[in-house]
Amino acid sequence: MKKSIKFLSSAVLGLAAVACSSPEKMAEMAENVTVNCDPAVLEVVANRIDATVSVTYPADYFHPKAILEVTPVLVYEGGEAKMAPFTYQGEDVKDNYKVVSSEGGTVTEKVSFDFVPGMEKSYLELRGVVKYKNKAIEMPTRKAADGANATYMLVCKDGKADYKADNYQEIIKQTAEGQILYTINSSYVRGSQLKSESIKNFQAALDEIKANERKAITSTDIVAYASPDGGEELNTKLSGKRSETAEKAFGKVTKNHEVEAPVNVTSVGQDWEGFQELVAASDIEDKDLIIRVLSMYSDPAVREKEIKNMSAVYQSLKKEILPELRRARFIANVEFTNYTNEELLALIEENIDILDEEALLRAASVVKENSAKIEIYKKAIEKYASARAQYNLGVAYINADDLAKAKTALADAEKDADWQNAMGVIALREGDKAAAAKYFAASGNATSKENAAVLDILDGKYADAAAKLASAENCCNKVLAYILTDQLDKAAAAATCGCAKTSYLKAVIAARQGNANDVKKYIEAASKDKQLAERATKDIEFAQYK
């Protein structure tokens, strides 16, 4: 226990050494025996209460022919726990017990008890019996320590499994596009091009965007090109002229199809990128050779020369590919405003089938009821075979504490770091700490590190827990780990959550710092939780404030 909790660390009832002429006198003069316990206030660590008890017998106290049996007993609400007695003998006894000389001496023993509920409010006492010949004389019972501090049991030990995030976009970037084609070495826009299927589709897209309240054009690009034949300098000039005529054509194309957005006009020159795309998508013989030439040479003149040297292939290029690159593109850049969280909630009830995978995953993250999350994840699995939904379904079952269904769902999920952590949480809740530790170690992600700190606290490895939680978000376990390692300033700084348990931990911090007013304030705040209110009445952390 901490220094601020004031309890007697020893029981000294007398210092005078009186010669014991008989074993009966040992009982009568028991006040001359000194009892010390370390710690003076017992503490529960890893579900056990361990302490060291030292008993000092003064000179001329222990009868040389007596045997003394001392039984450590932990007395608590609802019962008591006894250890096997420690047995000592006088120096004239012919047996194999520890000898206590008539000149006096100190014996030190380890005591240990398995914790059971009720021991939070307890005390350790020593019960002695002096035996001599056929006599058995009871010694006065001696209290050795108060107990037992069980603050570590405030650990939040359920563990945490994270849901996989969705890729839902509040704003979706889209484009609508049309193009006009030019004849070789020309920048003249033919009337037929303004009535082409590509332009008609572009105009229809503009009309649809205008009618759709979720869509808006943010900008429009006019991009002019030249096919990569005829020389770089010539094509650069030709591309520039095409950008000018394309801009005028764009005005005609959009005359009755309003576009209220900036127009950006660009001249690219030779369209090698488009050339490569069209070749790759074509059935032209030796297309792989053409693409290899493009990768080998970056100089446009060399590229053109090498390709023209493939005379048979070049004829196919002139007929099928190059005409498609003498063009100008009209590109409308569009933003689609996706469903809001409120709309997603409504659609879940009214028309869930129109939602895609990402929308379903987002909707599941928005709904509050765990049962609703489960049904949405099942829908995403059924409709889209969603791997993330499969994993998230397992997490939802973990949060419902339905571990059997969680394991069934996770059996079909990807065995990644998140999966390892989730399986560790299941093992932790099932009480299999060894399996949980293996899963958390295999995961290695931030959440599994926090979960591993739970195991450290349960095992009494408080410094390890504090180190693991140092970079975690402030939480009850982080505050607790700092308390258990006597880093009270850090504990207070981390206690930012407004929950009842955090208030309780703040009361513990205040008690250890000797701040009576704050102890009272925080216990009152924590008492909104009935279990914590009941605990506070028995908690030895607050013994001196009652």
490-534 tens-digit pLDDT: 999 999 999 999 999 999 999 999 999 999 999 999 999 999 999
Residue ending a domain, among 286, 303, 337, is 337
Helix (H) or strand (E) holding 482: helix 476-484
- Classify residue 517: in a domain, yes or no: yes
DSSP classification of residue 322: G
**pTM assigned to the model:** 0.79
Q: Identify whether residues 79 and 210 lie together within a single domain.
A: no
- Classify residue 3: in a domain, yes or no: no
- Classify residue 1: in a domain, yes or no: no
User: What band does 12 get if pLDDT is binned at 50, 70 and 90?
Assistant: very low
User: What band does 15 get if pLDDT is binned at 50, 70 and 90?
Assistant: very low
- Classify residue 456: in a domain, yes or no: no
User: What band does 434 get if pLDDT is binned at 50, 70 and 90?
Assistant: very high
- Evaluate whether 326 touches 181 at the Cβ level (below 8 Å): yes
The CATH number given to whatever domain includes residue 282 is 3.30.1330.60
Q: Identify whether residues 225 and 280 lie together within a single domain.
A: yes
- Classify residue 305: in a domain, yes or no: yes
Q: Identify whether residues 179 and 294 lie together within a single domain.
A: yes
Q: Identify whether residues 311 and 176 lie together within a single domain.
A: yes
How far is it, in rounded angstroms, from Cα 378 to Cα 66? 77
First to last CA, the chain: 17
Q: Identify whether residues 160 and 205 lie together within a single domain.
A: no
Q: Identify whether residues 417 and 467 lie together within a single domain.
A: no
How far is it, in rounded angstroms, from Cα 190 to Cα 178? 15
Mean pLDDT of 44-53: 97
Torsion of CA 443, 445, 449, 455, to 10 degrees: -30
Question: How does pLDDT run across 171-218, given as a tens digit for each residue?
Answer: 999 999 999 999 999 999 999 999 999 999 999 999 999 999 999 999
Q: Identify whether residues 92 and 27 lie together within a single domain.
A: yes
- Classify residue 454: in a domain, yes or no: no
The CATH number given to whatever domain includes residue 94 is 2.60.40
Note down the domain range covering 417.
155-166+340-446
Q: Identify whether residues 311 and 177 lie together within a single domain.
A: yes
User: What band does 21 get if pLDDT is binned at 50, 70 and 90?
Assistant: low
- Classify residue 285: in a domain, yes or no: yes
The CATH number given to whatever domain includes residue 396 is 1.25.40.10
Percent of the chain with pLDDT over 70: 96
One-letter identity of residue 272: W
How far is it, in rounded angstroms, from Cα 223 to Cα 258? 20
Q: Identify whether residues 265 and 368 lie together within a single domain.
A: no
Q: Which of 62, 161, 152, 46 is nearest to 106 (CA)?
A: 62
Gyration radius from the chain CA atoms:
41
Residue ending a domain, among 287, 314, 337, is 337
- pLDDT for 331 beyond 60: yes
| From 136-145, 226-235, 351-360, 389-398, the region with the lowest mean pLDDT | 226-235
- Classify residue 476: in a domain, yes or no: yes
Which position has the higher pLDDT, 376 or 28?
376
Residue ending a domain, among 383, 418, 446, is 446
Question: How does pLDDT run across 314-324, given as a tens digit for each residue?
Answer: 888 888 899 99
Cβ neighbours for 67, distance < 8 A, ≥ 6 positions apart: 87, 88, 89, 90, 93, 95, 97, 130, 131, 132
Q: Identify whether residues 198 and 145 lie together within a single domain.
A: no
Query: Alpha helices of 317-416 — where are they, by DSSP H?
Result: 341-350, 357-366, 370-384, 387-399, 403-411
- What tokens were used for 423? 């399986």
Q: DSSP string of 107-175?
A: EEEEEEEE--TTTTSEEEEEEEEEEETTEEEEPPPEEEEEEEE-GGGG---S---PPPPP---SEEEEE
Q: Identify whether residues 60 and 143 lie together within a single domain.
A: yes
Please report, for residues 506, 510, 541, 543, the alpha-carbon distance to residue 517 in angstroms, rounded to integers and kept in the order given: 12, 8, 15, 14
Q: Identify whether residues 330 and 352 lie together within a single domain.
A: no
Query: Looking at the 3D structure of the chain, how many domains does it have?
Result: 4
